[in-house]
Chains A and B, each alone.
Chain A
């Protein structure tokens, strides 16, 4: 009886821990967005596999082919991808 109670408590606590919007979904959206931008700018990348946020609208994107780009919005409002 005690074991069952412990197990159910563990399950509930884990469910509470993983409930809510997962950050992975947001990551996937961002990675897709960065992939599209780099593709749109005509730069070789393939697919962005990871991204590190530096500031608002400023990310370091790591591509599948090993390239790294800093994708940001400059002062003129243009999206720029700078190879690192």
Chain B
């Protein structure tokens, strides 16, 4: 019996070892799968707040609107329809602001800034009103979106200050040397430029007291024609011409500058 036990142990140990050896690849596979799953979950990002807001109206349960119109859900914080009723019947609550759009719109169904999240009675209610964690995220994002255009409005004066001075001769040379337009086109353009300059000269020679604003339109048309011809094949030249547009006009519109240049 004493000999039998070690023998059994040997046998059982051998069996266990064999089992463990057999299990190892399976454990490894499961481990790899779990790792891959965890990595995949780590890669998932939250959808942006705007997407959440857009998906809101699609989930709204129409029966919920009917319930709100009845005014049965009294303990709920003000929602779009509830606020409408409150406006009609009683003075509005001081804390939350009213949504701009009412009805099935996403803005109307979302909780407003600073308002507590509505306690969900059913799943449809929970879907209609997003959880409180998402609402502040959207609210915090929206001021940034509003402030962005304000930030973009400031830089242009700086850009205008850094604009290099107009070099008419260099611009003329670039137009002459560019391969973007053919010989016939260059000649036709030169003819039209000469015609426009003649009009300016005639205007200044005649001594008209009216401004040269009437010549602004043909000037703009000519610049647009040049840009249309050049922009595909020589974009840098097109940018230069486009950037010099006002500078060239300032020369043309001033009789002294015009006479000095032309």
Contacts and interface: CB of A to CB of B under 8 A. Distances in A.
Interface in A15-34: 29-30, 32-34
A71 interface: yes
Which interface residue of B183, B184, B225 has the most chain A CB atoms within 10 A?
Answer: B184
A71 B184 contact: yes
B192 interface: yes
A34 B182 CA distance: 8
A71 B225 CA distance: 19
A33 to B, nearest CB: 3
Contacts of B189: 40
A40 B187 contact: no
B185 interface: yes
* Closest 5 A/B residue pairs (Cβ): A33-B182, A79-B188, A36-B185, A37-B184, A79-B187
Interface residues of B, number: 12
A77 B187 contact: yes
Given A29-B182, A36-B181, 19 more contacts: A30-B182, A32-B182, A33-B181, A33-B184, A33-B185, A34-B184, A36-B182, A36-B229, A37-B184, A37-B185, A40-B188, A40-B189, A40-B229, A41-B188, A73-B184, A73-B187, A77-B191, A79-B188, A79-B191
Nearest to A30: B182
A77 B229 CA distance: 21
Interface string B212-243: 00000000000001000100000000000000
A80 to B, nearest CB: 9
B182 A40 contact: no
13 contacts: A30-B182, A33-B181, A33-B182, A34-B182, A37-B188, A40-B192, A41-B188, A57-B183, A57-B184, A73-B187, A77-B191, A79-B184, A79-B188
